[in-house]
Structure 1
Amino acid sequence: MTTDRWGIDTQWVDARGRSRAVADRTLRQLRDLIGEPPAGAERQAPVVTSPGGALGADVAGEVVCEDGSARWVGGGVLPRDVPLGYHWLHSSDGPRRRLIVSPGRCWLPAGWRAWGLAVQLYAARSRASWGIGDLGDLRSLREWLQGLGGGFVLVNPLLAVAPTLSQEASPYLPATRRWRNPIYLRVDMLPGGEPTDVERNELRDLQAGGRIDRDRVWALKRAVLGRAFRARRPADDEFETWRAQQGSALHAHATWCALADAHGADWRDWPAPLQRPDAAAVARFAAEHAVEIAFHSWLQWQLDRQLAAASGDVIVIQDLPIGVAGGGADAWTWQAQLASGVEVGAPPDVFSPDGQAWGSPPFIPWRLRQADYEPFVQAVRGTITGAGGMRIDHVMGLFRLWWVPPGGTPVDGAYVRYPSRDLLDIVALESHRARALVVGEDLGTVEPGVRETLAARGLLSYKLVWFEAHDPADWPSASMAAVTTHDLPTVSGLWGGLDLHDQRRYGTG
């Protein structure tokens, strides 16, 4: 396998084991999009290591730790007593660099074994929820499962989409991988969250319907949430303290939400002066719409509180998707780090003969490093904190991603390499900080050595009865085993043979 200096594999092996060459046109397109880092960029890139680990012969200087303490490091090795965390390295002959000190392995209790449920929360509706499963339902589900002796609930991504109509239906194409979706709030648990008589009629219709109508649900919830926000205490110290702790990341997201309310869900269609988050026009908009920005920040606070209430002795495992919508909040914030026009996907295989394109733009690897891995850190931390576990969808994307070029199809794509050692170290660090286990969804085309690396790093493998030919006793012990997953037939569909019926109906089986 040959990887060029842009990090592109010029060949790849298909599902039948045949070596395939990447088209010259694809290579030219992707090389132009990736570009090359400026001279000296690597001397400014973050240093990622472990206590007692290698620093690099040219790395020396004063380390200022997160707690404010400082010490000198050098000699090519990091002292073992440097704490885990995100620090700053100030060298005498170069710029300040981020120093990320990781344990190297994810947190995993010795001998931990449990059974649990994998749930699409939006479908887990109850008589108390408003036409869609919510965090109140998750709390009830957790309490019920705990009484049965279960150990975990795995839920779909609970991540935010644009706060507009029409609502994005796929939880795997969110606007952000950092902040959660307020459609999952149990509204009437909030002070002032009671519906009016007219709204109760709408609520009864939503509860009686057989399908989820996200637009109607969100329109109703947003109206009541707006009243609850306006009725809160003017000086809510607890909220303001939490808001300040979230820093600029929350402000950027809430600003994007307010802009989306005013100009639509896709920032690429906004007036040009508003398309960059650091623009003067955006700062003016934020100053003029401080109340709206506070509202969207308050929604995230309430989500944080309700998720904490839904968690307990039963671990809630949240799902981290591979990417975000190209017009969403993260793509607006990190647009300089993303490959515009490219889609992440998968090459043709037995499961999908035409390949797949998932609609998400990928990060340019060297630009992600240049950003101190901050987009990835925020995504992992936002998913793993306050839950107890995280499932990484398409975990192979930490090693390489299939890029579908602009104007092309998945067949025209190529693999682009990522700094997997650094990314896995970040996952391990956040896992230890949150005391949360990590599951790597390793289904599909997996290159040799990846599963072994993930196991050595303490990530659980993900095994499906659907795909496994071996006896379960022969599966790796460090695994999460399941009957099916979100994009395969349901258990009830398998039980009744409806999966075969639907495949024949649509000409796919």
Structure 2
Amino acid sequence: MMIDLEKFADHVGIARDYYDCNGQYTQITKEARLATLGAMGYDLKDEKGLQNIILKEEITPYNEILDPVTVIREGERPFIMMRTLEKLSEAAVLSWTLTLESGEVYKGSCPLNEIEIADYEEVQGRVYDTRRFIIPNEFPQEVASLPLGYHTFKVAIDDGVVHYDSIEQSLIITPLKCYEPEEIKQGRKFWGVSVQLYSLRSRNNWGVGDFHDLKLLLKAVHDRGGEFVGLNPLHAGYPANPDPDMISPYSPSSRRWLNIIYISVPDVPEFSTCSVAKNYVASSAFTKKLQSLRDRDYVDYKSVLDLKLKVLEMIFDYNRMTDRRSNRGKKFLEFINQGGESLMSMATYDAMQRTFYQKGINAWGWMKFPKEYQECHGPFVIKWRELNKELVYFYCYLQFLAQEQLQDAYQAACDEGMVLGTYRDLAVGVSEGSCDVWADSDDIYRGSAEIGAPPDPLGPLGQSWGLATIEPHALRRSRYKQLIELYRANMQSCGALRIDHAAGLYRFWWVPVEHKATEGAYVNNNIHDWLGIIALESQRNKCMIIAEDLGTIPLELRIALKEVGALSYKLFFGEKAHDGGYIAPQDYEKQALSAVTTHDMPTLLGWWSDYDLKMGQELGIYTEDDVKRIGDERKYNKQRILDSLHGLGSVGEEVPRNANDIPQMTHELILGIERHMCRGSCVLFSSQIEDWIGVLKPVNVPGTFREYPNWRRKLTVNIEDLDKDNFVKELTKAMTQAREEASDK
């Protein structure tokens, strides 16, 4: 047979077209669609082999009778679809087994002909009926309403001659809505701050912001009236990689585990009893090195990690953490048991990478490991882990400490009465050379394409982010195991989770290797299933969901996010009316988090002074013409901002009405902008500490890699001194008052 590749691309969910962020209809080229089909794992050059694969994929759902997973949300018709051969005996009997998440098992049977036929079709010369098994009609009274959670379901059909067994289906029952704190249900509105954790300065950290600093910041923010601290992704990085530029929190090694650089060594319980470590830390040489790292304007990741890991190894070796006779040993071993295969793979990856680098191998990703170690679950890796058990356990210990300290900071905030406490950030994906890809036992990742974005105003040439793609059909076949673990892990120790690039819930822009970002295509995900799982984990973990829905977002996704109760993301600079003016924050959508800027934008000080344009020209991002064009547009925008602030009474005559009279950002203008946003309708407003203390340089410059020290710039003030600043006191007081006023409306 001749294969219609375009139709097959339709079948696997590769889009033919889309509407861009400006509402412009855009067709995806045939070449891009076929390249994406190849990146999904189909060999388009082997027509016979491809035919066999297509035939196998076509018949598999009918042979398996049930789908691998069914997600049913509250209020939806409780159907389980099954496929049976048309020509079965009239005497055929269907037997079913339902196993609840709690372990309870229910069984039953009925004549097959009592199960409604919803459709039929001919597949490979045989006719199959699609039957609709209705829940809870067929179940006993005690399970008339299935509880929320992860259950399993399977059936068997016996017609007296042949016996058919289905696969075991994962039956997921999910709530309609994500979690919402009672205070927000009651109409209260809150402010908080967003910060890059590594950028925090303090008198006692070791050259990078850590979990102890987070605890201090949470208290400081709450004391001033704030209810949350939003963080950059805390995902595991590459502690053994000596490359100073491989530190982006948005290109992690694992989104399931934490970045160990954030461990506060003095807060480790075993540190106080380890004389070797204490003496080493107290030495003059160590103290001098430590002060040097604290004083730097940019984080020196390698030097910080070298210091921390050396001391933490002393602590681990001294305390014999795998000793079951101590309470800490029991707790640690229980952590290892709960972490399971995922934790062991993460620890093994870090231990291996470190060992290979020490041997002179540039092991920046698992593809650069010696060949026998490139298979995570292979015999060579298993043997290596056994021979290097103590080193692997050490990296398990680091994850143990990181989880413990993050939870401690969050619990302290809860004990103080903070409504949300920490809010975490979930990155879009992981890099191709990451632990998550290496340890992928479900074969969901594809290395022949990268996640990116089509052209938009922020990236006119499109974007390709170097992140591995996830094949949606393989993910579904795996019963969403890794997706569930991912959301569950990232909803720990926080009151809210921000999902970066929420467009990915609906579809991802795949950029096949050796193709430009403009030559990609959208691959659709199963948004119904994904949002159901997110809602279930959100409710179970009492964690709000914030969807970063900027850029090219389909209307269907916006509607679905609203229905499930996820907060939208509103940026002041992006909320403009058709006449070029700025929309009043009071007219923003209520179900949203608003902010003035983000980590990908210049600070307020940098934006108003055009520092980002000057720097962009020096870095080669902007031409002289670009600077002129953007600068002229910015002058116009500054004036419209002032018009809005004055028009709504967010500033008084202390702020000039003419933008030309304000060459530099002032305290009065910053206070006015923050007050302006806090008076808005959004339930949450997130400020940036950089704008409180007048930081000029950005933390990240999109479009650069080695040209600018991204993800390293520190704040200019110690946390301990933050609350001593009179302007910070005045600003936070005004923000708190404005939020209270907004809550009363």
Answer yes or no: same fold by TM over 0.5: yes
- Residue 113 (structure 1) aligned with residue 189 (structure 2): yes
For 1:239-388, what aligned pairs fall within 5 Å after superposition? Answer: 239-263=332-356, 264-311=363-410, 312-313=413-414, 314=418, 315-334=421-440, 336-388=443-495
SS in 2 for 1:358: strand
Distance 1:230 1:317 in 2: 34
Q: Is contact 1:115–1:150 with CA below 8 Å preserved after alignment?
A: yes
Match of residue 552 from structure 2 = 445
2:74–2:176 contact (8 Å) kept in structure 1? no
2:226 maps to 150
Q: Counterparts of 1:276 and 1:61 in 2: how far apart (Å)? A: 38
Letter in 2 for 1:66: E
Q: Which residue number corresponds to residue 76 of structure 1?
A: 134
- Whole-angstrom CA distance in 2 between matches of 1:72 and 1:148: 57
Contact 2:491/2:541 (<8 A) preserved? yes
Q: Which amino acid counterpart does residue 154 of structure 2 have in structure 1?
A: H
Deviates more, 1:24-33 or 1:469-478: 24-33
Q: Residues 435-459 of structure 1: CA distance to partner in whole angstroms, max 9, x if unpaired? A: 0101000011111232121011010
Q: How does 1:173-252 map to 2 (within 5 A)?
A: 173-190=251-268, 191-192=270-271, 194=278, 195-197=281-283, 198-234=285-321, 235=323, 236-252=329-345
User: Cα deviations across residues 323-379 of structure 1 (Å, max 9, x unaligned)?
Assistant: 001101001112721121211011111121111111101101101111111221122
Could you say what secondary structure the match of 1:157 adopts?
coil
Within the candidate set 170, 195, 199, 1:98 is matched to 170
Offset, 1:467: 0.8
Q: CA offset at residue 44 of structure 1?
A: 4.5
Alpha-carbon distance between aligned partners in 2 of 1:373 and 1:102, rounded to the nearest angstrom: 14
Aligned match of 1:128 in 201, 204, 213? Answer: 204
In structure 1, the residue corresponding to 2:475 is in which secondary structure?
helix
Provide the rounded CA distance (Å) in 1 between the counterparts of 2:312 and 2:81.
Answer: 56
On the 8 A contact 2:235/2:253 being kept in 1, the answer is yes
* One of 574, 599, 603 as aligned partner of 1:490: 603
Kept in 1: contact 2:68–2:168 (CA 8 A): no
SS of corresponding position for 2:422: strand
Does the CA contact (< 8 Å) of 1:51 and 1:80 recur in 2? no
CA distance in 1, matches of 2:15, 2:256: 30
Distance 1:104 1:265, change over 3 A: farther
- The yes-or-no answer on 1:8 pairing with 2:9 is no
Look up the SS of the partner of 1:442 in the other structure. Answer: coil
> What is the CA-CA distance between 1:23 and the residue it aligns to?
2.5
Give, in whole Å, the separation in 1 of the partners of 2:387 and 2:515.
42
Moved more, 477-486 or 41-50: 41-50
Which deviates further from its counterpart, 46-55 or 351-360? 46-55
Distance 1:162 1:503, change over 3 A: closer
| 3-state SS of paired residue (2:71) | strand
- Shift of residue 25 of structure 1? 2.3
Alpha-carbon distance between aligned partners in 2 of 1:435 and 1:62, rounded to the nearest angstrom: 31
Q: Deviations over 1:62-120 (max 9, x none)?
A: 22222211224883235663222222223223011222221131101213521100111
2: CA distance between counterparts of 1:366 and 1:199?
A: 53
Match of 2:150 among 86, 90, 94: 86
1:35-61 CA-to-partner distances (Å, cap 9, x unmatched) read 467332573421111356433242983
Asked whether the equivalents of residues 251 and 430 of structure 2 are also in contact (C-alpha less than 8 Å), the reply is: yes
Unaligned regions of 5+ residues in structure 2, if any? 1-6, 43-53, 84-94, 109-131, 137-142, 157-164, 272-276, 324-328, 357-362, 577-582, 628-745
Gaps of 5+ in 1: none
The amino acid that maps onto 1:171 is P
TM-score, length-scaled by structure 1: 0.95
- 1:494-509 to structure 2, matched below 5 A, reads 494-505=607-618, 506=620, 507=622, 508-509=626-627
Paired position in structure 2 for 1:166: 243
Residue 244 of structure 1 and its aligned partner are, at CA, apart by 0.8
> CA separation of 1:83/1:212 partners in 2, compared to 1, >3 Å: closer, same or farther?
same
Q: TM-score, normalised by structure 2?
A: 0.66
Verify: 1:50 aligned to 2:73, yes or no.
yes
1:300-339: CA deviations, max 9, x gaps? Answer: 1111110111112332110001100110100111272112
User: Aligned partner of 1:166: which letter?
Assistant: D
Instruction: State the secondary structure of the residue aligned to 1:341.
Output: strand
Structure with larger Rg: 2
Shift of 1:172: 0.3
Pair 1:16–1:452, CA change in 2 (3 A)? closer
Helix, strand or coil at the partner of 2:350: helix
Question: What does the per-residue CA deviation read over 1:221-273, in whole Å, with 9 as the maximum and x for residues that have no partner?
Answer: 11111111112244101111122122221112112222212232310111222
For residues 127 and 328 of structure 1, what CA distance do their matches in structure 2 show? 34
- Structure 2: which amino acid aligns with 1:69? E
Shift of 1:499: 2.9
Pair 1:138-2:214 in alignment: yes
Change (3 A) 1:240 1:367: same
User: Following superposition of structure 1 onto structure 2, how do residues 7-26 of structure 1 map, counting pairs within 5 Å?
Assistant: 7-26=13-32
Cα distance change of structure 1 residues 450 and 365 upon mapping to structure 2, 3 Å threshold: same
For 1:432 and 1:63, the matched residues in 2 are separated by 23
Contact 1:125/1:134 (8 A) holds in 2: no
Q: Which residue pairs with 2:100 in the alignment?
A: 65
SS in 2 for 1:317: strand
Per-residue CA distance 1:270-319 (angstroms, 9 max, x = gap): 12221112211111111111111111111111111101111123321100
Give 1:430-469 correspondences, 5 Å limit.
430-469=537-576
- Structure 1 range deviating more: 27-36 or 306-315: 27-36
Residue correspondences, number: 508
Q: CA RMSD in A?
A: 2.1
Report percent identity of matched pairs. Answer: 31
